[in-house]
Chain A
Amino acid sequence: MLIPVGYVVATAIGLGWHELAPLVFRPRVGELLANTALLLVLGVPATIVLGVGGAWLVERTDLPARRFFAVLLVAPLAIPAFVSSYGWASAIPSINGLWGGVLVSTLAYSPLVYLPALATIRGLDPALEESARSLGLGPWAVFARVILPQLRLAILGGGLIVAMHLLAEYGAFAFIRFDTFTTAIVVAYQSTFAGSSAASLGVVLATLCLVLLVMEAGARGRARYARVGTGSPHPPSLARLGRAAPATVVALACLGIASTVVPLVNVVRWLGASDASAFAEIPAAAAQTALLAGGGALGAILVALPVAWLAARYPGRVSRALEAPYYLASSLPAIIVALALVTVTLRFVPAMYQTVVTVMAAYVVIFLPRALVPLRAGIAQVPESLEEAARSLGTSPLVARLRVTAPLLLPAVAAGAALVALGAANELTATLLLAPTGTRTLATQFWSAASAIDYPAAAPYAMLLVLSSIPAVALMFSHARGGRVR
């Protein structure tokens, strides 16, 4: 798990200051830094406004057609960002640069804030809001002074995830000519393979990630949000939008059109233009995608189980120290994970170099938190007393675990595995670098057709990527609606 982190550190040391400095302190890196920083500064707040605003509107106001909008706001999550970018680029061919990047990524990633915000708002006790209202606050003041502060963790967490996605995204930005560190690393890789130029950009990018992690941890603060017992909240009374209602509906509809309808309509339009030959290679690509994604999911569950077990059953410094590197490694962009695995397998385990196993290992590193989070929650929910009861009846600890706890964990395992597998199925950068000779996945096939501007040939793959993402999105949505804070 620590290979990528070790790779970055080893590269920095191996290149040495004299070689690293001229590669890092040059105008091009300055341009990339400015682009990446502006993307974060504009994109993250925009997703937070859309995500939190959307969650509040569908949960706590009398917005018409609330259920419909609740689903519409999460829908973009089923469209991989590079597919969304492809849809926009074919709708507006001149879309490019910073504004294009901000537009496409904000639309694609706002559900990452919307979902935790939705979950948190649903878990809030309306009594607090009612007390505030009875003390004379209007609906906006209630939102700003009562709801917003309680959403702090969801906003920070969601914002961090958006920021990490913005740093790691390749396809969506490459498609519309917006250069970030990740796109520049891919270009450097294509020009020099895993050489010092790609590696030095990787060191800067990894540092950026670390800065964001530390900032988020710092901003989380020490305030307490918990309370004892969930009580039995009654249904919240809804804020009235009044005359603002029609404008709000129009605004949300426009958002839905921009984030979901535009990409999908273009995919369908090109699908109509694609000839039969475009479909010929789909079964093979789908099978290979399923194999790689399935293997990655299995691997992630197996690695996550013991860690989640320790974290849930024996919380403490040791288990937290064990968990931390997993989150750290997973926060590194896929391109760095891939560079690290190319370099390490080539140098130390050539037998593993560009094999299916290495691709799966990359998926485990990149997507592990998707398995850890539901597993930890699942294990925490299984009462230990059940296991103890089984043991008091004479079964051994292992049998008790397998016969009592394991079946209760199945839903959590299934959820974690599904989230990892669907993430892996949409993965582009690491797959491009690590896949064995001859391997093609849905994402790499889409990319090779789309970057050759063969839009019709790319369309069937885009459609499949969207369809295969729907179950995971439905799963995440129902978790969020369940009111559990994740």
Chain B
Amino acid sequence: MRRRRTILSISPIVLAALVLTGCAGGDAQGGEEAQVSDDALVVYNAQHEQLTEEWVEAFTEETGIEVVLRHGSDSELANQLVAEGDASRADVFLTENSPAMSLVENAGLFAPVDQATLDLVPEQYRPSSGLWTGIAARSTVFVYNPELLDESELPDSLVDLADPAWKDRWGAAPGGADFQAIVSAMLELTGADATRSWLDGMHENATIYQNNIATMKAVNAGEVPGGVIYHYYWYRDQDGTRENSADTKLHYFGNADPGAFVSVSGGGVLKAGTRQDAAQQFLAFLAGEQGQTILGEGYSFEYPVASGIPAKAPLPALETLDAPLVDPTELNGPEVIDLMTEAGLL
């Protein structure tokens, strides 16, 4: 009897707690609705935040369409889109590399890109399916510290870096989508067995960093003689304070080597999105003259790929890099993750 009374006398508190939590929940949701208005275009953005924010600012100014960004990494957001499926609020997906785009494409989540937008982009920078388009490009490079590595010692091919001679002499950031895209190109060009043994060699040889900038910084500080990164981190730092690259040089592999891989950054419209027109408009803006000019003239140093906009000086022209020919749709993200997990790099 006494115990029952106890429970009864406590229940008002529990009830009050429930009511209050309900209220708090309601308020909070109200707050969120206010923040993401229903008309706003939702963009899942894996590109550099600063670049996309520059794009969005110009786009909103021109069209009056409000844009909300969700930032994340390529594979994270791609897998998230697949997991969300039709429940996703995303209208547009932007990446730094192609494998994440293929992942979403293979899950059947993209709506075809407007032909007029595709026409702005040369064929080699977009998938044949037309379900997404390239919006920018970046080149693989080998950044090195001339004090620790003589020009004559530079590797001829990315493949060489798995040799025992390169033990503890190079670094990379295998946890990031950038490096995973380079591996996906190697997988496409050399096959699974060769890639597997190369990754084993990398596990032996390479020092692992958190991202491209950390890798470059370590090379600059002489912690490691060389590193595999994308070109624009170096040019950006050179253009700015040079604090993370002053004592380094770039080596381009060329020769259609896997290490000369040029990765296409993609943009696509989600089929389940409720703002199709605005989404297509946004993509057309990115591939159009204005969007590509922001890319070509802004701080980013990524390569424009459409509307004939040239790269920012002093970047070497994209056509001169002698990159291997790879169809962006063929790049297999999930298999790369599995291989890298197997090799103990993830």
Q: Is B49 an interface residue (CB 8 A)?
A: yes
- In the complex, are the beta carbons of A303 and B17 less than 8 A apart? yes
Q: Is A11 an interface residue (CB 8 A)?
A: no
Beta-carbon contact of A306 and B89 below 8 Å: no
Does A478 sit within 8 A of B, measured CB to CB? no
A-chain residues with CB within 8 Å of residue B345 when the two chains form the complex: 28
Whether B84 pairs with A346 at a CB distance below 8 angstroms is: yes
Residue from the list A177, A302, A350 in contact with B20, Cβ < 8 A: A302
Chain A residues 414 to 464 lying within 8 A of chain B, measured CB to CB, are 436-439, 448, 451-453
> Given the known A-B contacts A28-B341, A295-B24, A350-B87, are A302 and B17 also in contact in the complex, defined by CB atoms under 8 Å?
yes
Q: Is the CB of B211 within 8 A of A452?
A: yes
In the complex the two chains form, what is the Cα distance from A452 to B83 in whole Å? 28
Pick from A94, A174, A298, A448: contact of B24, CB below 8 A: A298
Taken residue by residue from 173 to 211, chain B's Cβ proximity to chain A (1 for < 8 Å, 0 otherwise) reads as 001110010000000000000000000000000001111
Contact present for B10 and A197 (CB under 8 Å)? no
Instruction: Please tell me if the beta carbons of A299 and B346 are within 8 angstroms of each other in the complex.
Output: no
Per-residue interface assignment for chain B, residues 317 to 346, with 1 indicating a CB less than 8 Å from any chain A CB and 0 otherwise? 000000000000000001001000110111
4 extra interface residue pairs, beta carbon distance < 8 Å, beyond A192-B75, A192-B79: A177-B208, A298-B24, A305-B13, A353-B87
Whether a CB of chain B sits under 8 angstroms from the CB of A356 is yes
A438 touches B36 (CB 8 A): yes
- Chain B residues whose CB sits within 8 angstroms of the CB of A372 once the complex forms: none
Mark interface residues in A178-220 (1 if CB within 8 Å of B CB, else 0). Answer: 0100001001111111110100000000000000000000000
Q: How far is the CA of A355 from the CA of B33 in the complex (A)?
A: 10
Residues of B within 8 A of A452 (CB): 211, 213
The docked-state distance in angstroms from the alpha carbon of A353 to that of B29 is 12
Stretch from B65-73, B107-115, B251-259, B285-293 that touches the partner? B65-73
Is B14 a contact partner of A188 (Cβ separation < 8 A)? no
What is the CB-to-nearest-CB distance from B250 to chain A, in angstroms, rounded to a whole number? 18
Contact bitstring B56-79, A, C-beta under 8 A = 1, else 0:
000000000000111111011011
A188 in contact with B36 (CB, 8 Å): no
The chain B residue with its CB closest to the CB of A186 is B175
What residues of A have a CB within 8 angstroms of the CB of B209 in the complex? 177
Given A188-B346, A357-B29, A438–B68 Cβ distance below 8 Å?
yes
Chain A residues with Cβ below 8 Å from B25 are 357
Chain B residues with CB under 8 Å of A398's CB are: 9, 12
Instruction: Given A189-B76, A191-B175, answer yes or no on A94-B21 (Cβ-Cβ < 8 Å).
Output: no
Chain B hits for A310, CB < 8 A? 10
Closest to A400 in B: B9
Kindly state the separation between the CA atoms of A189 and B78 in the bound complex, as whole angstroms: 11
User: How many A residues are at the interface, by size bracket?
Assistant: 35 or more
User: B223 at interface (Cβ–Cβ under 8 A)?
Assistant: yes
- Say whether A355 contacts B211, CB under 8 Å: no
Are A436 and B36 within 8 A (Cβ)? yes
Task: Please give the distance in Å from A268's CB to the nearest CB on chain B.
Answer: 19
The chain B residues found within 8 Å of chain A, CB to CB, are: 6, 9-10, 12-14, 17, 20-21, 24-25, 28-29, 31-32, 35-36, 42, 49, 68-73, 75-76, 78-80, 82-84, 87, 89, 175-177, 180, 208-211, 213-214, 217, 221, 223, 244, 334, 337, 341-342, 344-346
Residues of B within 8 A of A27 (CB): 344
Q: Is the CB of A26 within 8 A of B20?
A: no
B17 touches A437 (CB 8 A): no
B37 to chain A, nearest CB (A): 11
Q: Is A31 an interface residue when CB atoms closer than 8 A count as contact?
A: yes
Can you report 13 residue pairs joining A to B where beta carbons are below 8 Å apart?
A: A177-B208, A190-B75, A191-B175, A192-B79, A192-B337, A194-B79, A194-B83, A197-B337, A298-B20, A303-B17, A360-B28, A448-B49, A451-B210
A118 to B248, CA, bound (A): 51
The listed residue (A187, A195, A299, A309) touching B175 by CB distance below 8 A is A187
B184, chain A: closest CB distance, angstroms: 12
Query: Which residues of A are at the interface with B, using a C-beta cutoff of 8 A?
Result: 26-28, 31, 93-94, 174-175, 177, 179, 184, 187-195, 197, 291, 295, 298-299, 302-303, 305-306, 309-310, 314, 346, 350, 353, 355-357, 360, 397-398, 401, 436-439, 448, 451-453
Q: Give Cα distance in the complex from A444 to B49, angstroms.
A: 13
With A438-B70, A452-B211 in contact, is A356–B29 under 8 Å at CB?
yes
Q: How far is the CA of A187 from the CA of B210 in the complex (A)?
A: 9
Please indicate which of the listed interface residues A179, A187, A310, A346 has the most CB atoms of chain B within 10 Å of its own CB. A187
Q: Are B35 and A191 in contact (CB under 8 A)?
A: no
Residues of chain A lying within 8 A (CB to CB) of residue B217: 93, 453
Check B221 against A94 for contact (C-beta < 8 Å): yes
Taking the closest CB of chain B, its distance from the CB of A351, in whole angstroms, is 9
Determine if B29 and A355 form an interchain contact, defined as CB atoms under 8 angstroms apart: yes
* Complex-state Cα separation, A310 to B79, whole angstroms: 44
B20, B42, B75, B244: residue with the most chain A Cβ atoms closer than 10 Å: B75
| Residue in B89, B214, B337 whose CB lies within 8 Å of A437 | B89
Whether the Cβ atoms of A187 and B346 lie closer than 8 Å is yes
B20 proximity list for chain A (CB < 8 A)? 298, 302
Residues from chain B with a CB closer than 8 A to the CB of A306 are 10, 13-14, 17
CA distance A303 to B223 in the complex (A): 50
* Chain A residue with the shortest CB-CB distance to B82: A193
Residues from chain B with a CB closer than 8 A to the CB of A298 are 20, 24
Give complex CA distance A426, B49 in Å: 22
Q: Are the C-beta atoms of A175 and B210 separated by less than 8 Å?
A: yes
Residues of B within 8 A of A191 (CB): 73, 75-76, 175, 177, 180, 337, 346
Q: Are A436 and B32 in contact (CB under 8 A)?
A: yes
B344 surroundings in chain A (CB, below 8 A): 26-28, 31
